[in-house]
Amino acid sequence: MNPSHTASWGILNRRDFPRLLDALRTQGYRIIGPTLQDGAVKWGDIATVDDFPVGWRDHQSPGHYRLERTESFRYFDIVHGAESFKPLTFAPRETLLVLERTHKTFVATPILPDPEPLAVLGVRACDLAGLAIQDRIFLHGPYADPYYRARRDRLFIIAVQCTRALDTCFCASMGTGPQATAGFDLALIEGDADFVVQTGSEEGARLAQHLSLHPVPPERLRQEEIRMAACAASQTRSIDQSALPRALYDAHDHERWDDVARRCLACTNCTMVCPTCFCHGVEEQPDLMWTRSERARVWDSCFTPDHGYIHGKNLRPTIKDRYRMWLTHKLAAWIDQFGMSGCVGCGRCLTWCPVGIDLTEEIKELIRSRQASGS
Amino acid sequence: MNMESAISPPMNPFVIHPAVIKEKRQEAPEIVTFRLQLEDPAIRKQFRFEPGQFNMVYAFGVGEVAISIVSDPDHPRELDHTIRIVGRTTDVIGRMQPGDRLGIRGPFGKGWPMEEAKGSDILIVTGGLGCAPVVGAIEYIFRRRENYGMMNILHGVKAPHDLLYRERFDAWRAHPRTHVWLTSDEPGKTWHYHVGVVTELFDRVQFDPNHTFVMMCGPEIMMRVASHLLSQRGLTPDRMYVSLERHMACGIGLCGHCQLGPYFICKDGPVMRLDRILPWLGKSGI
Ligand SMILES: Cc1cc2nc3c(=O)[nH]c(=O)nc-3n(C[C@H](O)[C@H](O)[C@H](O)COP(=O)(O)OP(=O)(O)OC[C@H]3O[C@@H](n4cnc5c(N)ncnc54)[C@H](O)[C@@H]3O)c2cc1C
Ligand code: SF4
Ligand code: SF4
Ligand code: FES
């Protein structure tokens, strides 16, 4: 995506929406978007516009997720499911190498993912913020990851702007949403009868030429800005980042960790649904003859007992240690490591926590009493 | 999925390079030193490392472990690794013989400040069983003895039988301007060195705090206490370095396992200047 691109706007009539799919397919893209599969929202193939979950909306709160039937004919009423954008670029399981024994030695062959062009339609601002964080980690460190790169480079991204926040959303306080401002090829705002289409890259602008867009009255753009601002204003949760990272480092011995440890099950859900968590382990799978072996990286979580294991001891034996590791990394150490918070405010870890632990509450307690005690 | 060999190995930091075992030396019942040579001449030629850096050493079909490079950086075509057999992967590696192949990715991480320490006295403080990370630095100094001042090597173990290879300490002791101090927390019949924790030895060692570099490796609590006592003796934290250990799966700052506070020990360490890491050193549960 080209940062020097100058955005332009146009209106796509609702009945012309299928043209977008046609244009993408003509360009050789496989298209995926939010779909309903076995009662859950997941990225799935979009063959026609009817594959979008029309007539459904989601309600989320800590420990709860509910899909509700509506009369609406909008395509993008569901905000998001458990699955973030992350699996599309950082695969839950990625084969890295195949090693084969030869006469006396062995050969290691990298297995790079298929670079099939992929258009993703229905990406939220928090997803894009998560993607930017993962780019920072996998592409802009001392070693660029060729597997991530291959999955990343094939993408065409179509964002959908948020005009309704969930009870769990706090992107506004994290500065990541609800409006996507960069990182997309095209962005859509869904109205009752049409979409406002914004270009975000040269590729996006080229594709938009196939859509017979109408000019947007300036008044309409102002209305949409107001809708998105209202969405931001409706968010009730927030994280005050002004004292981070220091405040959380200083809270190492806070009693709140004991409190949250009594509730946390160390189930790893929060890390699996998080769009930014990047921990992984490597699995080795030799064949029976021990002549061929595959190495694959697999998502791991700092909540597992093995995560902090070194021979003879576990550095984080208790759930308290692990929850503290997670939150301190996410909201504090991440800033030192990557120059940005590890949380984009998507709220997934609240929703998918079986006991409804809400990190915005935890951080408030951890920082509030610190201020009270004046340390 | 497609087989892609077009990506040349240095661009893919996950590619494992076969290395042949040239020599194997049994140092102690559970400790072996391997001399390895990378098979691919091009990779071998470009391989450069510093004392204190490590390789991910791979056993075919089993897995990878982080192991310090203990040989001399002026001879990077041969790589020595001293490995203590403690579990699944090191067990398989320990059974390998000359002519067998191990795999290597590396070198990774930051090493000891060998250049900065030139001309200074050196104080090595180690505790516990292995301490391979400092061995490379010690050998480096002995091969360039004239570039460094007094050498004091302090090593502490829990019990006398934990002193894994005494011969090496005896060999070090034989070098000019070198003192080796051994101690054990518990006494023993054949133990004729000091009894007590390693930090007690500080009282006996003479050093000029303004002309000394400290290199430490061992339990974090020990290093924390040691750095505190050494500060009291006038050593500033910017002249003290520690080598740290964490769980490592990737070695390149991506897998998340090796974190300590804001650092990834695989890329910001394993050797770190004390003033950077002191707030985190020995803190429980991190
Ligand atoms: C920077 C660094 C340098 C090291 N240098 C040396 C050295 O020169 N010589 C030496 O003998 N040992 C060294 N170690 C320790 C060595 O890596 C472990 O002893 C080894 O990983 C144990 O593997 P295992 O499979 O035999 O043990 P197990 O206990 O059976 O398995 C543990 C598994 O956990 C994983 N693991 C990852 N990191 C570690 C870790 N730090 N400790 C234990 N398990 C880990 C591995 O996948 C390993 O297979 C070093 C460690 C680090 C971090
Ligand atoms: S920590 Fe929770 S709210 Fe923040 S990005 Fe991750 S899943 Fe979303
Ligand atoms: S989802 Fe909730 S219970 Fe599970 S590990 Fe995360 S905080 Fe703990
Ligand atoms: S070992 Fe993977 S991040 Fe350091």
Q: Select the more confidently predicted residue: B18 or A4.
A: B18
- For position A374, what pLDDT does the model report? 41
Tell whether B113 is covered by a domain: no
Q: What percent of chain A has pLDDT over 90?
A: 93
pLDDT category at B21 given cuts 50, 70, 90 is very high
Amino acid making up residue B106? G
Q: What is the pTM of this model?
A: 0.94
Region A282-304: mean pLDDT is 96
Residues B140 and B49 in one domain: no
Which one-letter amino acid corresponds to residue A358? Answer: D
For residue B180, the 8-state DSSP code is: E
Ligand 2 center to residue A327 CA distance, Å? 10
pLDDT for position A111: 96
Question: Phi, psi (5° rounding) for residue B122?
Answer: -125, 135
Q: What is the rounded distance in angstroms from the CA atom of residue B105 to the CA atom of residue B55?
A: 6
**Domain check: are B39 and B170 in the same one?**
no
Residue of chain B minimizing CA distance to A335: B262
3-state secondary structure of B34: strand
pLDDT at B2 over 80: no
- Count other Cβ atoms within 10 Å, centred on residue B110: 19
Query: Which of A325-329, B26-30, B277-281 is predicted with the least confidence, judged by mean pLDDT?
Result: B26-30
Helices (H), A101-201: 125-139, 146-153, 171-174
Residue A369's pLDDT band, with cuts at 50, 70 and 90, is low
CB A122 within 8 A of CB A33: yes
In a domain, B114, yes or no: no
Q: What is the DSSP string of B136-167?
A: HHHHHHHHTGGGS--EEEEEEESSGGG---HH
Which residues contact ligand 4 via a Cβ below 6 A?
Answer: B 248-251, 253-258, 264, 266
| B136 & B272 share domain | yes
Domain assignment of residue B136, yes or no = yes
Query: pLDDT value at position B163?
Result: 84
B152, B46: one domain: no
Residue type for position A164: R
Average pLDDT over residues B110-132: 92
CA-nearest residue of chain B to A145?
A: B12
| Shortest CA gap B53–chain A (Å) | 16
Nearest CA to ligand 3 atom 5: A266
CA atoms within 13 A on the CB side of A347: 28
Domain co-membership, B247 together with B125: yes
Contact B181, B155 (CB under 8 A): yes
> Chains A, B: CB contacts under 8 A, how many?
144
Q: How far is CA B147 from CA A15, B205, B242, in A?
A: 80, 21, 21
Q: Supply the pLDDT for residue A3.
A: 61
Confidence of residue A219 (pLDDT cuts 50, 70, 90): very high
Q: Ligand nearest A261 Cα, by number?
A: 3
Q: Which of B71, B178, B177 is nearest to B132 (CA)?
A: B71
Helix (H) or strand (E) segment spanning residue B229: helix B220-232
- What are the residues whose beta carbons fall under 8 Å from the beta carbon of A330, sequence distance 6 or more? A274, A276, A277, A341, A342, A343, A359
In terms of domains, do B136 and B199 share one? Answer: yes
Distance of alpha carbon A242 from alpha carbon A244, whole angstroms: 6
The protein residue whose alpha carbon is closest to atom 2 in ligand 3 is: A353
Nearest 5°: CA angle at A188, between A182 and A193?
160
Q: Which residues of B162-186 are buried (b: 16+ CB within 10 A; e: fewer)?
A: ebbeeebbeebeeeeebbbbbbbee
Residue B286 in domain? no
Q: Which residue puts its alpha carbon closest to atom 1 of ligand 3?
A: A353
Q: Using pLDDT thresholds of 50, 70 and 90, give the confidence band for residue A370.
A: low
Residue A155 confidence (pLDDT): 98
Candidates B2, B37, B220, B254: best to mutate against A (most CBs of A within 10 A) is: B254
Q: Kindly tell me if the per-residue pLDDT of A373 is higher than 60.
A: no
The pLDDT tens digits of the residues spanning B272-283 come to: 999 999 999 988
pLDDT for B5 equals 40
Asked if residues B73 and B140 have their Cβ atoms less than 8 Å apart, the reply is yes
Among A212-226, B159-173, B186-200, which range has the highest average pLDDT? A212-226
Q: Do B255 and A300 touch (CB under 8 A)?
A: yes
- Res. B259: pLDDT tops 70: yes
**Rounded Cα–Cα distance for residues A326 and A332 (Å):** 10
Indicate if ipTM > 0.90.
yes
Of the candidates A38, A148, A139, which has an alpha carbon nearest to the alpha carbon of residue A82? A38
Domain annotation covers residue B57:
yes
Please name the residue of chain A whose CA is at the shortest distance from the CA of residue B38: A105
For residue A344, the model assigns a pLDDT of 98
User: Per-residue pLDDT for A8 more than 60?
Assistant: yes
pLDDT at B3: 39
Q: What is the pLDDT of residues B188-244, one digit of tens each?
A: 988 889 999 888 888 889 899 999 999 999 999 999 999 999 999 999 999 999 999
Clarify whether residues B9 and B33 are in a common domain: yes
Which range has the worst mean pLDDT, A32-36, A270-274, B95-99, B278-282?
A: B278-282
Q: How many CB atoms lie within 10 A of CB A156?
A: 22
Nearest ligand to the C-alpha of residue A134?
A: 2
Minimum mean pLDDT among A297-306, B8-17, B241-250: which range?
B8-17
> In this structure, how many other beta carbons lie within 10 angstroms of the beta carbon of residue A18?
12
C-alpha B106 – ligand 1 centre gap (Å): 15
Ligand 4: centre distance to CA B246 (Å): 9
Q: Among residues of chain B, what percentage have pLDDT more than 90?
A: 80
For A33, the token pair is 């978007």
**Together in a domain, B255 and B127:** yes
Q: Which domain holds residue B25?
A: 3-108
Task: Return the percent helix, strand and coil in chain A, to nearest 5.
Answer: 35, 25, 40
Q: What distance in Å separates the CA atoms of residue B133 and residue B126, rounded to the nearest whole number?
A: 10
How does pLDDT run across B124-155, given as a tens digit for each residue? Answer: 999 877 688 999 999 999 999 999 999 999 99
Percent of residues, chain B, with pLDDT higher than 70: 96
In a shared domain, residues B214 and B139: yes
Question: CA A142, CA A66: separation in Å to the nearest integer?
Answer: 42
Indicate whether B127 and B89 sit together in one domain.
no
- Continuous segment of H or E residues that includes residue A302: none
| Integer Cα distance of A193 and A210 in angstroms | 20
Q: A292-306, B48-62, B64-78, B122-136 — which is least confidently predicted? A: B122-136
pLDDT value, residue B214: 97
Q: Are B150 and B122 in contact (CB under 8 A)?
A: yes
Atom of ligand 1 nearest to the CA of A281: 47
Cβ neighbors of A223 (< 8 A, separation 6 or more) are none
Is there an atom of ligand 3 within 6 Å of A221 CB?
A: no
Q: Which of B108, B139, B164 is the last residue of a domain?
A: B108
Last residue of a domain, one of B56, B83, B108: B108
Per-residue pLDDT band for B107 (boundaries 50, 70, 90) equals: very high
Mean pLDDT of chain B: 92
CATH value at residue B192: 3.40.50.80
Q: Say how many Å lie between the CA of residue B77 and the centre of ligand 1.
A: 24
Interatomic CA distance for residues A322 and A257, integer angstroms = 10
* Contact in structure between A169 and A237 (CB atoms under 8 Å): yes
The pLDDT tens digits for A74-117 are 999 999 999 999 999 999 999 999 999 998 999 999 999 988 99
Quote the number of domains for chain B: 2
Residue where the block lists tokens 């244009």: A23
How does DSSP classify residue B261?
A: T
CA of B141 to the centre of ligand 4 (A): 29
For residues B116 and B241, what is the distance between their CA atoms, to the nearest angstrom? 12
Average pLDDT over chain A, rounded to an integer? 95
Chain B residues 8-37 with CB within 8 Å of chain A: 11-18, 20
The domain segmentation of chain A, as residue ranges, is 9-83+113-233, 241-373
CB-neighbour burial class of residue B43 (10 A; exposed 0-12, middle 13-18, buried 19+): middle
Q: Which pair of structure tokens corresponds to residue A31? A: 């298209």
pLDDT band at B61 (very low <50, low <70, confident <90, very high): very high
Question: What CATH number does residue B67 fall under?
Answer: 2.40.30.10
Percentage of chain A with pLDDT > 70? 97
Looking at the domain assignment, is residue B285 inside a domain?
A: no
Residue B6 clears pLDDT 60, i.e. is over it:
no
Q: B129 and B101, same structural domain?
A: no
- Chain-chain contact of B253 with A284 (C-beta, under 8 angstroms): no
Task: Give which of A351, A185, A341 is closest to A272, Cα–Cα.
Answer: A351
pLDDT greater than 60 at residue A298: yes
| Buried b or exposed e, range B87-104, using 16+ CB within 10 angstroms | eebbebbbebeeebbbbb
On whether residue B143 sits in a domain, the answer given is: yes
Quick check: is B265 in a domain?
yes
Please tell me which of the candidates B1, B86, B256 has its beta carbon nearest to residue A111: B1
Q: Whose CA is closest to atom 8 on ligand 2?
A: A346
Q: Is the dihedral of CA B152, B155, B161, B166 positive or negative?
A: negative
Q: Within this chain, do residues B146 and B243 fall inside the same structural domain, yes or no?
A: yes
